[in-house]
Amino acid sequence: MDKMQTSALGTRLFVIAALAATAWALVYKTGVASSDEAGIVLHLPEQVGDWRGVDLLFCPNRDCGAQYSAGQLEDPTVCPKCGASLGNMNWAERSMLPADTGLVRKYYTRPGGRDPLHATIVLSGNDRSSIHRPQVCMTAAGHEIVAERVVRIPLAGPAEPLEVMVLDMAKSYSDANGAPAVYSSYYAYWFVGKDRETASHLARMFWMGYDRIVRGVSHRWAYIALSGQRRPGSDAHLQTIADFASQLHPALLKPE
Ligand SMILES: [Zn+2]
């Protein structure tokens, strides 16, 4: 992205931020109905294209932190290591998200082991602030964001392309011999509200404020994330994300 584009984008984001701030200021002075309506179903399909998904289970015990795929356990309710009750949120999610937050997650693999990825849907509960800007969590977890861009993904039929934010990340660690190594991964996400989809956190904040003021409602927003490994210096993961997201998208739509 060149300088001019960057500054134009910066101005646009500033305007959106200013509008969102105004919207929030107004929200506190008006009565708003909360609605349970979400823009998507809280469910991930078993099959997406030639990917097959399995459920993942997490131990809520911070000191244990074990993770399993559902089929791997005889009793999928109890952690075999420490005896805690397993659930679909990891320790960090359980401690950060309100209890009524909806979350589903699957690990998807393809024949031949190509392009495995994690898919997650987080649906906000009564506390609409439960969905945060993901960049904050990523950097807090020690990932460096090396690239950040919005990718437009064509969808079947007359639908507008889906805009997805893609973060390229790198995390330094020491390998088995103690030598410095880098783990390269990607994190792609977009937000879905009732009749709205956006890759931009600020746009989502704006629409939340707008719907509260103009429509007088506060719907539940969802956040859809895809993550996996990437090859440093290659953009091949963008195609993987596009293939998966375009095939997942129709399965997320709510039946009318
Ligand atoms: Zn455990």
pLDDT tens, position by position, for the chain (256 residues)? Answer: 444 445 566 666 666 665 665 555 555 545 566 666 777 888 999 999 999 999 989 998 888 988 898 888 899 899 999 999 998 888 777 777 787 888 899 999 999 988 999 999 988 877 666 666 677 777 777 888 999 999 999 998 888 899 999 999 999 989 889 999 999 999 999 998 888 888 888 888 888 888 888 888 877 888 899 999 999 999 999 999 999 999 999 999 876 5
Residues 188 and 223 sit within 8 Å (Cβ to Cβ):
no
What's the CA-to-centroid distance between 89 and ligand 1, angstroms?
13
Question: In the chain, what are the domain boundaries?
Answer: 3-44+102-252
> What's the pTM value of the predicted model, to 2 decimals?
0.79
Residues 209 and 26 sit within 8 Å (Cβ to Cβ):
yes
Cβ within 8 Å of residue 150, ≥6 positions away: 163, 164, 165, 166, 199, 200
What's the CA-to-centroid distance between 73 and ligand 1, angstroms?
13
What's the CA-to-centroid distance between 75 and ligand 1, angstroms?
13
What's the CA-to-centroid distance between 104 and ligand 1, angstroms?
20
Cβ within 8 Å of residue 100, ≥6 positions away: 125, 126, 127
What's the CA-to-centroid distance between 42 and ligand 1, angstroms?
26
CA distances from 54 to 96, 120, 137 (A): 24, 12, 25
What's the CA-to-centroid distance between 72 and ligand 1, angstroms?
15
Q: What would the two tokens of residue 256 be?
A: 């009318």
